[in-house]
Amino acid sequence: MKLITKVIPEPTEVYKPSNPFKAKVIENKRLTPVESEEDIRHIVFDLSGSGISYLEGQSLGIQVPGVDEHGKKNRIRLYSIASSRKGDDGLSSTVSLCVKRVMYKDDQGVLQKGLTSNYVCDLMPSDAVYITGPAGRKLLLPADNSVHLIMLAVGTGIAPFRAFIQHIYREKGSWGGKVRLFFGAKTGLESIYMNQENNDIGQYYTQETFLAFQALSREEKTKDGNKFYVQNRLEENEKEIWEIIKEGHFCFYICGLKGLESGAEEVLDKWAKKDGLNWNTMKAEFVEQGRWNIEVY
């Protein structure tokens, strides 16, 4: 099988931590209803005058003002871009991020707040924010639009795939290969970009080449009574997905929590064994060819 040719970014202005770009917030919209325990935001930034051009699958860094406990500037936190290269406005002057407010209790039971996520989620329109990047080549789209796309995401890992779908169907108008999205959330309330607050992805359900499959871990159960995850939904679609993979004309993407990668690989390993194949060998070839594209944390 041939190597996958990716759409590589053209030379553009790239901002480093030592010289970030001062952008302005245009919009900060909550993507989850107020009754949801998760506060997930869609934040739009004005890039006018930056010289930045980005592609779907890339990331931008956010730097919180101030210093850490060691007196050094706060570390840059990277976030996957959630908008297509033309931005939500279609004018190539904005960029959007999807950010979850991180709140947790430490070993002593004291509530802790994620520094960068809370900073970003609290931003207001017209606020200034320092941005670095763009960065990343792992999750870029293939240049050949006949390649089948298989995308797996949980939570805010949906961001690059919203960008993919926006670019494919809003800007290009179509995609020759099949486009399959498997997305996981706790409940329908957290099914971001596919819920009552925002249905940006759902609006493309009518596209001939596009299908989306949701897995809601707190609302569904497996036959064994366990929580239902993205890999369970993937397994339900064995016939189509495994045929695509064996055919070899595809790009597989995973974005989100690390457990999603191992869960998906368990399913693929099971399918391979049924056919007397070795998944690890297959995966090594796919990685070398640029077909296996992972960004997990």
Catalytic residue among 104, 126, 208, 297: 297
Catalytic residue among 190, 197, 235, 295: 295
Question: Catalytic: 50?
Answer: no
3-state secondary structure of 25: strand
Question: Catalytic: 79?
Answer: yes
Contact (Cβ atoms closer than 8 angstroms) between residue 25 and residue 272: no
Catalytic residue among 80, 83, 191, 217: 80
- What letter would DSSP give residue 190? G
Contact (Cβ atoms closer than 8 angstroms) between residue 222 and residue 252: no
DSSP E strand stretches across 117-273: 128-135, 148-154, 179-185, 210-216, 250-256
Q: Which residues contact 144 (CB under 8 A, 6 or more apart)?
A: 4, 5
Q: Which one, of 138, 179, 181, lies nearest residue 294 by Cα? A: 138
Contact (Cβ atoms closer than 8 angstroms) between residue 233 and residue 251: no
Using CA atoms, how far apart are residues 205 and 9, in angstroms rounded to an integer? 29
Q: Which residues contact 283 (CB under 8 A, 6 or more apart)?
A: 265, 268, 292
For the residues of 204-226, what is the DSSP string, one character each?
GTTSTTEEEEEEETTT-B-TTSP
Q: Which one, of 85, 70, 103, lies nearest residue 9 by Cα? A: 85
Question: Catalytic: 297?
Answer: yes
The H or E element containing residue 45 is: strand 40-46
Contact (Cβ atoms closer than 8 angstroms) between residue 160 and residue 80: yes
Question: Catalytic: 217?
Answer: no
Catalytic residue among 79, 130, 204, 253: 79
Active site residues: 79-80, 255, 295, 297
